[in-house]
Amino acid sequence: MAQEQVGQFGINHVSILDKDGNVDEKLASGFTKEQISEMYYYLNLLRKFDEKLFNLQRSGKIGTYAQTRGQEASEIGSGLALKENDWFVPSFRELGIYLTRGTPKNLLVQAWNGDTRALGNPNHTHNLSLSIPIASQCVHATGIAWASKIKKEKDVTIVYFGEGATSEGDFHEAMNFAAVFNLPIVFFCQRNGWSISTPTNKEMKTETIAQKAIAYGFKGIQVDGNDVLAVNKVTSQAIEKARSGDGPTLIESITYRMGDHTTSDDSLKYRSQEEINEWKLKDPVVRFEKYVTKNNILSEEEKNNMHQTIEKEINEAVEQGLGVEKPDPAQMFEDVFAKMPEMLQEQKEELLAELEIIKNQEEEE
């Protein structure tokens, strides 16, 4: 019997910006002031917009909301690495990517208020709508990337999911298909520590998530997900690798869900305030603020201007998003089949008759 090692694998972890705002000069040197400024704007926009949406839910103005707080660098860093024609396939906690993709903010307010009209963006057909079932979007993204390859188009697909998704069969099937057909796709795992109340170590026993890529035959890499520079660099590299025909990458972005799972959750039931406090010290937005201030990359005036713009944009978006007329109830029949089947037409007429009765009753009262 002979025994020999037939494979040897390792996983790299990338970080550029530490929690105190100090950078690895060599790795940070590639970023222009324009890029830094853009990151600063989006990080702060996301933080403030997320806070606003949370508050709107608390005051009963929108429905259940899934906060992004804590994951700003992970989202903005990766979102800014995409080209306009690249495909963005979200799960449901990627508010930041919608922002970097230029989705009108009023539509995002409207969408979190349960209004179908705000879903889907006719001006940007390469952004998918939220996908709430866990991991299923990974397979759709794989199909999208596959079509790009078959059509010989150069678009890359990026798909987002949390670490809980890696427990699902769909994650496995997507990773395997992407590998077998060498597809132009980036699997972006936002490892935020918690799947509602289940911590990462109860989702899996592997040391890293990135190593799972090795089992499928492509590269996995781990990045400090609270470091916008590192996330941007790693994602850009993965996207360009995919674009040049060298296949998929799995990115494990280590971050932390500072808020509850959604506004319907109370995370103190299953995690400690101490843990949350510990992660506050690694806050991605604060960290970047320290960096740009310490290195005088942005002046106080430049920063203030951006904060004012952000506030104005958010206020306008909320006003517009909440101010829209209520949707026409009969509209729900329109968006199911290309041409409404006769049986649905009949049911639509039943609804219209019902609305007429309600209207008459209200007039009598």
Decide whether 157 or 200 has the Cβ nearer to another protein: 157
Question: How many other CB atoms sit within 10 Å of the CB of residue 277?
Answer: 9
Determine which one of 93, 257, 287, 291 is catalytic.
257
Closest distance to another protein from the beta carbon of 345 (Å): 10
Question: 241-274 burial by CB neighbour count: b if 16+ within 10 A, else e?
Answer: bbeeeebbbbbbbbbbbbbbbebebebeeeeeee
Closest distance to another protein from the beta carbon of 156 (Å): 12
Question: How many other CB atoms sit within 10 Å of the CB of residue 182?
Answer: 17
Closest distance to another protein from the beta carbon of 1 (Å): 32
Classify residue 147 by burial, with Cβ atoms within 10 Å: 0-12, 13-18, 19+: middle
Question: How many other CB atoms sit within 10 Å of the CB of residue 307?
Answer: 15
Determine which one of 47, 93, 101, 261 is catalytic.
261
Give the SS3 label for residue 250: strand
Question: How many other CB atoms sit within 10 Å of the CB of residue 276?
Answer: 17
Per the listing, tokens 């508010």 go with 95
**DSSP letter assigned to residue 128:** P
Decide whether 129 or 236 has the Cβ nearer to another protein: 129
Cα–Cα distance for residue pair 312/82, rounded to 1 Å: 26
> H-type helices in 188-299, by residue range?
200-203, 212-216, 228-243, 273-280, 284-294
Nearest to 283 by CA among 47, 41, 14, 70: 70
Closest distance to another protein from the beta carbon of 103 (Å): 12
Question: How many other CB atoms sit within 10 Å of the CB of residue 68?
Answer: 27
Strand (E) or helix (H) holding 253: strand 249-254
Closest distance to another protein from the beta carbon of 196 (Å): 19
257 belongs to the catalytic site: yes
191 belongs to the catalytic site: no
Decide whether 21 or 143 has the Cβ nearer to another protein: 143
Per the listing, tokens 């040049």 go with 244
Strand (E) or helix (H) holding 160: strand 157-162
Decide whether 125 or 197 has the Cβ nearer to another protein: 125
- CA 91 and chain centroid, separation: 7
Q: Which residues make up the interface to another protein (CB under 8 A)?
A: 87, 116-122, 125, 128-129, 131, 133, 136, 138-148, 150-151, 169-170, 173-174, 176-177, 180-181, 332, 334-339, 341-344
Decide whether 140 or 290 has the Cβ nearer to another protein: 140
Closest distance to another protein from the beta carbon of 333 (Å): 10
Decide whether 4 or 346 has the Cβ nearer to another protein: 346
Give the SS3 label for residue 184: coil
Give me the active site residues, please: 257, 261, 270
